[in-house]
Amino acid sequence: MTSFFVSVGSNIDPEKNVPACIELLKQGFRVANMSSIYETNPVGPAGDFKFWNFVVELDFGLSKVELEKKLKTIEDALGRKRDPQNKFSPRTIDLDIIGSDGWQDAPFIVIPFAEIAPDHIDKISGKKLRDLADACGPYGTQIKNTKYFA
């Protein structure tokens, strides 16, 4: 079984879409760990509504490609609409496998990721997640512990 870390975000009805997403994740995967949920300001032209962000660790027996397909199915089930003109558009739910370069400068990913895997070493920077999170400084507000949704 392979573990994947997935960043989850919503800024359209997150009070409804985040619990629904968590339930669908639990139905489709073995959920090994979930961070707290953080409320953060949108990045780029993502609208005026704040995001709810968290990271989940999923154990999955298939490939990354298969996982991406299953995650897209969950996004579609929750009404995700993609705007090819604006990759920052508001969204009901956004599920991204944390992988290559780019996420290390995104506090809305780094901070919840470090919460559940503080000693995980980022392959790009060579730093522990706790150190990357400390470099982010204060960001967002922890609004819910995901145990609330268990």
What CATH number should be reported for the domain holding residue 69?
Answer: 3.30.70.560
pLDDT digits (tens, 9 = 90+) for 41-90: 877 665 678 889 999 999 988 899 999 999 999 999 999 988 888 777 78
Give the confidence band of 141 by pLDDT, cuts at 50, 70, 90: low
Distances (CA, A) of 30 to 16, 129, 137: 22, 23, 32
Widest distance between CA atoms in the chain: 40
Backbone angles phi, psi at 99, to 5 degrees: -145, -110
Domain with 115, as residue range(s), is 2-149
Structural domains counted in the chain: 1
Decide if pLDDT at 147 tops 60.
no
- Note the pLDDT of residue 85: 80
